[in-house]
Amino acid sequence: MNINYINWGRIDYAQALAKQRELFDYKVGQKLEGNKNISQDFIVCEHNNVYTLGLHGKDTNMLITDAMLKKIGAQVFRTNRGGDITYHGPGQITGYPILDIDALGLGIKDYIDVIEQSVIDVMATYNIQCERLHGATGVWIDINTNKCRKICAIGVKASRGITMHGFALNVNTDLNYFSYINPCGFIDKGVTSMQKEIGSKCDYGKVAREVFEKFKQLVENK
């Protein structure tokens, strides 16, 4: 199965969103024309400091003023993905798989499950024990304790079986930026990173590639 691994590197959110939309719209158009050989692209990148709100995101989950946003060098965008508010920034793997999940034999729930499992499996190789939290997408640690914290957020959009948006895995992320929001709308759960869990920085590029390889393996074994 040919799934392309594409790394856009450090890119502003607005530019990445425009590139995503162009690819997404093109592939939806191909699908409508009956094309059976749509390219499968697993895109990763890193953003400058930005907050994004999903379709059901509440403005009240942004806890600071426009003046403070400017001071910390962050922007805000409202998007058409699922989920509430989250942060993207340096040291975080932001994944934008733009895939024809019909051709992969996946429904949208299966697709999200595969992303979650890919991250859970890769984190286990770093001795970070993660799991799912019922009723909340993403990848979590210590779900049944008062230390419950998220290491990977997920918010996707799909139309005609074509996906966009995706996941955000905190590798060496500055977690202070999460203190300015209610991440994903939660006020009683924390956020973490690989660096925080392990106590040292991780190889960002290596982790990104590992998540892709695990995703591809899980899809092939579906």
DSSP codes joined into one string, 71-129? HTT-EEEE-SSSSSEEEE-TTEEEEEEE-BTTTTT--HHHHHHHHHHHHHHHHHHTT--
**In sequence order, which residues have a C-beta less than 8 Å from that of residue 157 and are 6 or more positions away?**
80, 81, 82, 163, 164, 165
Q: Which residues of 151-187 are buried (b: 16+ CB within 10 A; e: fewer)?
A: bbbbbbbbeebbbbbbbbbbbbbebebbebbbbbbbe
Sign of CA dihedral 28, 30, 36, 37: negative
* Residue 139: closest CA among 7, 126, 89, 176: 126
182: amino acid identity, one letter: N
Choosing from 45, 130, 152, 184, which is the catalytic residue? 184
In the residue annotation, 184 being an active-site residue is answered as yes
Which residues are identified as catalytic? Answer: 184
